[in-house]
């Protein structure tokens, strides 16, 4: 039944646009923790774009290329960028439209909770949150176990005056759990301290990370473009034993490295891993200022296009200088233990053979260290906003939705600081987080659910859809464009989920672990259970939690 006197939603886009709120909701002031989120809208369009690009890591493919080359020797990684950008621009469009229609913090928790049901919203969002919290702690660990060792090894290979000391430090961090927990803990502590700052300072930090990594990207491309493959081969042979010359490493992979259509199509999974991050601004949408459609369009839709151009150039020039077959043979040999190098054979490390200056070599390797730190920071911030959103909707105790006078959800930050520290400890001292090898399976399956929800949005929630900006309601004939793109992207996301569940991706040289595979699906079920427990408890207290699906949260 249509209410004759709809209530304007707080923070609705546009000064003249009213959003329908059912009468029973407007009369119940205790549905939400309070009638204002308390978050501060201080993130501009370019800052949101830079934050999304930092979360994607514009130089991280110099790291992932080792695993991609080893696991998918029949893939042309340059071609996978073309496939990946088509899928991700579509998914980016979906998140852009949903963020425009529902510009509140919490991302897919809000989207799916309002389109399907709050229990589905929580279940989907919990999957992403578990992955994000794991990444926050694990990438702090990566700073120690990969970031610094690559930097020290690059400095040593380029002839630094303290090469022996640098190699000793690299070896210590690669093998000593005590050193890893100390360095990883220091980086995680820095992440937490930054997260207690007002939002604008958090994102100024991400802008700084973006600027430095962008400079490193440009300098690295300059180094590669001004050297030839013959120069690299000569430098490599001069620094390595006769048992692993350039020619022998190429020969070791020559028979298995032919490019095939099937290999390239499956190999897109690692490129898709690299694209993760462009939709992150939907999680802190309640802190974005200005027109959300314009801001999220630049941040969510623009980021994958910029990123695709960057990594296509990165892959193409990496192949051109170092040689595709050499990278495959080196990566396979290093990961299997048959080839030994002073550092992890990232192209940023390989560039040290040509840099001619140890400080330039270390500066290039700094790109990986900064990227991992940026990952840890961004993927710590996102789940704090998710936790805040759950509490604001009273699924969790309202205690978690407390914010400081400067708009910092400090209880959520403190809670996840403890969780991330536990993740770091477990990551260093156990193998439990091997399940992250399978995280792309659950991640992209959840993305598929979001895309399906977007496709069904016009039909399941016609009133909310009708109040969305005109661009969200665009049609081809009588069919919403959002539905067309949503259905197509759901299928594409589920294909990537399948590809990320194959043994070739998760365990190219080891045993397949079904226990790890089902971990995130179990998290999804836990989300459903948590919602219904919260629903029963709040209903007993007289709080109508079910009404949260009938309006957007207050701004």
Q: 19-23, 163-167, 218-222: which has the minimum mean pLDDT?
A: 19-23
Q: 74 pLDDT exceeds 60?
A: yes
* pLDDT value for 374: 93
The closest of 213, 249, 218, 224 to 316, measured between CA atoms, is: 224
CA distances in angstroms from 508 to 44, 271, 340, 388, 505, listed in the order given: 42, 17, 19, 39, 6
* pLDDT value for 120: 93
The closest of 30, 66, 12, 19 to 541, measured between CA atoms, is: 30
Q: Compute the mean pLDDT over every residue in the chain, rounded to the nearest whole number.
A: 84
CA–CA separation, 259 vs 256, rounded Å? 9
User: For the segment 428-455, what is each residue's pLDDT rounded down to a tens digit?
Assistant: 887 766 666 667 788 889 999 999 999 9
Residues forming beta bridges with residue 479, ordered by sequence position: 476
pLDDT category, 317, cuts 50, 70, 90? very high
* pLDDT value for 172: 92
* pLDDT value for 4: 36
Domains along the chain?
Answer: 32-85+92-433 (1.20.1740.10)
pLDDT category, 279, cuts 50, 70, 90? confident
User: For the segment 408-433, what is each residue's pLDDT rounded down to a tens digit?
Assistant: 888 889 999 998 888 888 878 877 66
Q: 16 pLDDT exceeds 60?
A: no
User: For the segment 323-364, what is each residue's pLDDT rounded down to a tens digit?
Assistant: 999 999 999 999 888 999 988 999 999 999 999 899 999 999
Q: 163-167, 384-388, 483-487: which has the minimum mean pLDDT?
A: 384-388
User: For the segment 96-128, what is each residue's pLDDT rounded down to a tens digit?
Assistant: 999 888 887 778 888 998 899 889 999 999 999
* pLDDT value for 96: 92
Residue 150 vs residue 398, higher pLDDT: 150
Q: 6 pLDDT exceeds 80?
A: no
pLDDT category, 284, cuts 50, 70, 90? confident
pLDDT category, 257, cuts 50, 70, 90? confident
Averaged pLDDT for residues 74-84: 90
CA–CA separation, 213 vs 119, rounded Å? 39
| Eight-class DSSP state of 469 | -
* pLDDT value for 24: 45
Averaged pLDDT for residues 514-537: 85
Q: 31-35, 151-155, 285-289: which has the minimum mean pLDDT?
A: 31-35
Q: 48-62, 520-534, 535-549: which has the minimum mean pLDDT?
A: 535-549
Q: 373 pLDDT exceeds 50?
A: yes
| H or E segment and range at residue 522 | helix 519-541
The closest of 96, 107, 111 to 129, measured between CA atoms, is: 107
* pLDDT value for 39: 56
Q: What is the pTM of this model?
A: 0.85
* pLDDT value for 326: 95
The DSSP result for 318-379, as a single string, is HHHHH-HHHHHHHHHHHHHTSS--SS---HHHHTHHHHSSHHHHHHHHHHHHHHHHHHHHHH
Residue 143: φ, ψ to 5°: -55, -40
CA–CA separation, 393 vs 403, rounded Å? 15
Q: 393 pLDDT exceeds 90?
A: no
* pLDDT value for 302: 87
CA–CA separation, 539 vs 543, rounded Å? 5
pLDDT category, 269, cuts 50, 70, 90? confident
Q: 502 pLDDT exceeds 80?
A: no
* pLDDT value for 436: 65
* pLDDT value for 555: 54
* pLDDT value for 21: 42
CB 372 within 8 A of CB 62: no
In the chain, the percentage of residues whose pLDDT exceeds 70 is 86
Long-range CB contacts (within 8 A, 24+) of 9-13: 9/551, 9/552, 9/554, 9/555, 10/35, 10/36, 10/554, 10/555, 11/103, 11/554, 11/555, 13/100, 13/103, 13/291, 13/292, 13/293, 13/469
Residue 71, token pair as written in the block? 């696991």
Q: 34 pLDDT exceeds 60?
A: no
Averaged pLDDT for residues 15-41: 47
pLDDT category, 143, cuts 50, 70, 90? very high
Four-CA torsion 507, 513, 514, 515, nearest 10 degrees:
-130
Q: 215 pLDDT exceeds 90?
A: yes
CB 245 within 8 A of CB 234: no
CB atoms within 10 A of CB 294: 12
What is the chain's length? 555
Encode burial over 217-228: b for 16+ CB neighbours within 10 A, e otherwise.
Answer: bebbeebbeebe
Q: 87 pLDDT exceeds 70?
A: yes
* pLDDT value for 165: 94
Q: 130 pLDDT exceeds 70?
A: yes
pLDDT category, 185, cuts 50, 70, 90? very high
CA distances in angstroms from 195 to 378, 381, 382, 397, listed in the order given: 9, 7, 10, 21
Identify the sign of the CA torsion 236, 238, 242, 243.
negative
* pLDDT value for 182: 93
pLDDT category, 5, cuts 50, 70, 90? very low
């Amino acid at each position: 039944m249509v209410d004759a006197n709809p209530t304007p939603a707080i923070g609705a886009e546009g000064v003249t646009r009213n959003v329908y709120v059912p009468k029973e909701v407007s009369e119940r002031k205790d549905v939400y923790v309070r009638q204002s989120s308390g978050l501060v809208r201080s993130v501009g369009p370019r800052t949101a774009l830079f934050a999304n690009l930092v979360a994607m890591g514009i130089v991280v493919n110099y790291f992932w290329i080792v695993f991609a080359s080893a696991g998918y020797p029949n893939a042309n990684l340059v071609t996978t960028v073309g496939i990946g950008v088509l899928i991700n621009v579509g998914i980016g469009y979906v998140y852009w439209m949903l963020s425009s229609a529902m510009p509140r913090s919490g991302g897919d928790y809000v989207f799916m909770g309002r389109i399907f049901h709050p229990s589905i919203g929580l279940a989907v969002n919990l999957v992403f949150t578990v992955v994000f919290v794991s990444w926050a702690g694990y990438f702090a660990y990566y700073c120690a176990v990969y970031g610094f060792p690559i930097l020290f090894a690059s400095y040593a290979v380029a002839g630094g005056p303290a090469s022996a000391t640098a190699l000793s430090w690299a070896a210590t961090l690669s093998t000593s759990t005590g050193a890893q927990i100390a360095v990883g803990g220091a980086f995680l502590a820095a992440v937490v301290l930054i997260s207690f700052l007002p939002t604008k300072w958090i994102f100024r930090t991400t802008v700084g990370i973006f600027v430095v990594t962008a400079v490193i990207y440009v300098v690295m491309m300059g180094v590669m473009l001004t050297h030839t493959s013959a120069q690299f081969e000569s430098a490599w042979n001069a620094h390595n034993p006769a048992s692993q010359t350039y020619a022998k490493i190429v020969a070791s992979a020559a028979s298995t490295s032919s490019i095939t259509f099937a290999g390239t199509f499956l190999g897109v999974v690692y490129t898709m891993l690299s694209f993760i991050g462009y939709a992150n601004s939907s999680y802190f949408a309640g802190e974005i200022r200005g027109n959300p459609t314009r801001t999220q369009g630049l941040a969510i839709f623009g980021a994958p296009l910029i990123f695709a151009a960057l990594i296509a150039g990165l892959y193409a020039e990496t192949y051109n200088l170092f040689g595709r077959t050499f990278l495959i043979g080196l990566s396979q040999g290093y990961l299997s233990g048959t080839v030994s190098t002073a550092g992890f054979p990232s192209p940023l490390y390989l560039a040290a053979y040509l840099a001619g200056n140890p400080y330039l070599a270390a500066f290039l390797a700094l790109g990986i260290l900064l990227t991992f730190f940026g990952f840890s920071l961004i993927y710590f911030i996102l789940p704090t906003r998710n936790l805040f959103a759950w509490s604001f909707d009273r699924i969790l105790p309202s205690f978690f939705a407390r914010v400081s006078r400067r708009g910092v959800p400090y209880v959520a930050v403190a809670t996840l600081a403890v969780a991330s520290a536990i993740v770091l400890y477990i990551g260093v001292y156990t193998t439990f987080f091997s399940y992250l090898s399978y995280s792309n399976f659950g991640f992209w399956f959840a993305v598929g659910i979001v895309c399906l929800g977007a496709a069904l949005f016009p039909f399941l929630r016609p009133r909310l859809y009708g109040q969305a900006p005109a661009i969200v309601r665009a049609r081809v004939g009588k069919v919403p464009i959002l539905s067309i793109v949503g259905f197509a992207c759901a299928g594409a996301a589920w294909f990537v989920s399948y590809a990320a569940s194959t043994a070739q991706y998760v365990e190219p040289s080891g045993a397949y672990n079904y226990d790890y595979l089902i971990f995130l699906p179990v998290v999804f079920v836990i989300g459903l259970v948590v919602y219904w427990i919260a629903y029963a408890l709040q209903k007993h207290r007289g709080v109508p939690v079910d009404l949260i699906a009938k309006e957007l949260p207050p701004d």
